[in-house]
Amino acid sequence: MSDEQQEIVTQLRDTVKKVCEEFAGEYWREKDRERQYPKEFVDRLTELGLLAALIPEEYGGSGLPISMGVEILKAIHEFGGNAGACHAQMYTMGTVLRHGSPEQKQKYLPGVASGELRLQAFGVTEPTAGTDTTSISTVAVRDGDKYIVNGQKVWTSRALQSDLMILLARTTAKDKVAKRADGLSVFLVDMREAKKNGMSINPIRTMINHSTNAVFFDNVPIPADSLIGEEGKGFRYILSGMNAERILIAAECIGDARWFIKKASDYARERVVFGRPIGQNQGIQFPIAQAYAQTVAAEAVLEKACAVYESGGNAGTLANLSKMLASEASWAAADTCMQTHGGFGVAEEYDVERKFREARLYRIAPISTNLILSYIAEHELELPRSY
């Protein structure tokens, strides 16, 4: 990293640290307890332009490379916050940036950069298709100057805190296309209008405060110019955004892992049982050291993924690997942190149990460990595709 980049990282980390100090443990405990959206925290990040870090300067963002987005999200989690409520505002716009028309970019990106427009809902997963995305059944049927959308999405996070949604829908039936990935299209849906015309949103209560929902489309008309890129090519557009998402989620996991490791080490030094700090016992030291080693290794892979991504290379394997390794490292650190705290690990005021629940999610979403292993088997080991 150059001196100039190092300087930016230091500034970003200092800024994030101050925000996290302002919104410390009690803030997150209350939001978790009440299942509330952390609006004040998200507003502060927006004011500081942190969520617009990756939007090019010509559209009002900071035009930073993905490695700086990584630093922001990593720091949020390392300093005790949680970016899950707003990380998508940082990267969902990538679909518009890479595949949108000049008019769409000009229409939406400046508003997303300023925070005036919230583009943080991503409607891909459906209840019956699950991970098998090409089997989704939500359809968009062309009708003159609009499309009519029918179907259902599930686990659509932040739908209630979004003005716009990236929606994946089938525009040509699966049995009428040569490849199952064909015939899917991506739309930028103005949810403010859609909600007046047949879209409904039902929050799902989950073990973590993730503001996620089921979204129903009942004959929802959307203007034809909501289509992003070419009709039928949407699956490719969604895939092309996934490397950025995986890299940025890996950063959050690394931040979580560092938080757990510090919390566990601090407690292990302070807690005295049998007349000595529990951290003097190797049974306590070794799992923390193991999690530390896993975290350092995962972070090295993440840095490599960023370098390939920024150079325009194919970062698929490294993005997947970094997300898998980082989520496993943060889970190891979470488990060790809880064990180190003994009974106090489950007490709300220590924040360990909340972060423990939050960390567990990333082995499942946005892509599960199994599916990453399948990707590696197929793409790196040349083994037959298993699904």
Ligand X SMILES: Cc1cc2nc3c(=O)[nH]c(=O)nc-3n(C[C@H](O)[C@H](O)[C@H](O)COP(=O)(O)OP(=O)(O)OC[C@H]3O[C@@H](n4cnc5c(N)ncnc54)[C@H](O)[C@@H]3O)c2cc1C
Report the residue number, 67 or 243, with the smaller CB distance to ligand X. Answer: 243
Report the residue number, 317 or 368, with the smaller CB distance to ligand X. Answer: 368
Helix (H) or strand (E) holding 299: helix 282-310
The helix/strand/coil state of 334 is: helix
Q: Return the range that interacts with ligand X (CB under 6 A); candidates 22-30, 117-125, 228-236, 259-267.
A: 117-125
Cα-based angle 129, 363, 355 (whole degrees, multiple of 5): 125
Report the residue number, 95 or 265, with the smaller CB distance to ligand X. Answer: 95
- The reply to whether 137 sits near ligand X by the rule CB under 6 A is no
Q: Return the range that interacts with ligand X (CB under 6 A); candidates 45-53, 125-133, 142-150, 245-253.
A: 125-133
Query: Which of 20, 69, 361, 362 touches ligand X (CB under 6 A)?
Result: 361
- Strand 164-170 vs strand 119-123: parallel, antiparallel, or unpaired? parallel
Q: What is the DSSP letter of 85?
A: G
Query: CB of residue 308 vs ligand X: minimum separation in angstroms?
Result: 23
- Residues between 200 and 229 that touch ligand X (CB under 6 A): 206, 210, 212
Report the residue number, 124 or 257, with the smaller CB distance to ligand X. Answer: 124
- Identity of the residue numbered 256: D
Q: Return the range that interacts with ligand X (CB under 6 A); candidates 12-20, 74-82, 97-105, 357-365.
A: 357-365
154 within 8 A of 129, measured Cβ to Cβ: no
Query: Nearest-CA neighbor of 88 among 361, 305, 366?
Result: 366
Distance CA 367, CA 361 (A): 10
- The reply to whether 374 sits near ligand X by the rule CB under 6 A is yes
Query: CB of residue 121 vs ligand X: minimum separation in angstroms?
Result: 7
Q: Return the range that interacts with ligand X (CB under 6 A); candidates 30-38, 91-99, 287-295, 362-370.
A: 362-370
Distance CA 206, CA 204 (A): 6
Report CA-CA distances (Å) from 292 to 64, 252, 334, 337. 29, 15, 11, 11
Distance CA 104, CA 226 (A): 8
- The reply to whether 239 sits near ligand X by the rule CB under 6 A is no
The label of the residue with tokens 């959050």 reads: 252
- The tokens for 71 are 């630093």
Report the residue number, 293 or 364, with the smaller CB distance to ligand X. Answer: 364
Which CB contacts under 8 angstroms, 24+ apart, belong to 106-112?
106/59, 108/164, 108/188, 109/55, 109/56, 109/59, 109/60, 109/61, 110/59, 110/60, 112/52, 112/55, 112/59, 112/164
Q: Which of 71, 126, 231, 245 is catalytic?
A: 245
- The tokens for 148 are 């009519």
Q: Return the range that interacts with ligand X (CB under 6 A); candidates 9-17, 175-183, 272-280, 368-376.
A: 368-376
How many Å separate Cα 299 from the centre of its chain? 17
Please give the size of the binding site for ligand X, defined by CB under 6 A: 23
Query: Which of 21, 24, 116, 130 touches ligand X (CB under 6 A)?
Result: 130
Report the residue number whose CB is nearest to ligand X.
130
Site string for ligand X, 147-176 (x = CB under 6 A): --------xxx-------------------
Report the residue number, 274 or 387, with the smaller CB distance to ligand X. Answer: 387
Query: CB of residue 358 vs ligand X: minimum separation in angstroms?
Result: 10
Active site residue 245: yes
Report the residue number, 290 or 370, with the smaller CB distance to ligand X. Answer: 370
Query: CB of residue 367 vs ligand X: minimum separation in angstroms?
Result: 6
User: For the chain, percent helix, then strand, then coil, each to nearest 5?
Assistant: 60, 15, 25
Active site residues: 245
Interface contacts to ligand X, rule CB under 6 A = 122-125, 130-131, 155-157, 206, 210, 212, 361, 364-368, 370-371, 374, 386-387
